[in-house]
Amino acid sequence: MTRTLILTRHAKSSWGTSAPSDHARPLNKRGRKSAEALGQWLRESNRIPDQILSSSSQRTRETQELMSVNAPAVFIERLYHASSEMIFQVLREAEYPTVQLISHNPGIAAFAHAIVTSPPEHRRFDDYPTGATLIAEFDIDNWSDLAWSSGTVVDFIVPRELLNEEIQV
């Protein structure tokens, strides 16, 4: 059996806000547009998760909500600024075949690199910008069988590609 991971970094957040903490920072206008575009891309590609595991931060919650993929979401405090090892542990607890995991850099970028057999040929994969989304498949029966360097990249995209904007390095 195959397990599929949709690994998404939260969309662009607002730094110019009166949010009382980093955890409470919302998305900015571009981030909201990006999250909507990512959700549309997933729906049009027929890549809808069965379950969403997300950081508990405001910006990851908004990213998940604006993507409008009809799947149950669980907001997990351990995914807030999680290390790649913590993301690995949380994913091994997943219950459904196709899981979307939404979290933050630098942990999500490190995890993306460490979980696949080889990275996609995309110039933005290394820095994993806001909204970056990796789709990877794993030849396992259960997420508890997940191993490092075992995923096959199916796709990788950044919101600027969806919004027809020039990709900047």
Residue (of 11, 19, 109, 106) closest to 63 by Cα position: 11
CATH number at residue 98: 3.40.50.1240
The number of distinct structural domains making up the chain is: 1
Structure tokens at 141: 């029966």
What is the model's pLDDT at position 53?
98
Stretch 55-61: mean pLDDT: 97
Distance of CA 44 to the CA centre of its chain: 17
pLDDT of residue 165: 53
pTM, rounded to two decimals: 0.94
Domain that holds residue 69: 3-162
Percent of the chain with pLDDT over 90: 89
Residue 168 falls within a domain, yes or no? Answer: no
> How does strand 152-157 pair with strand 51-55?
unpaired
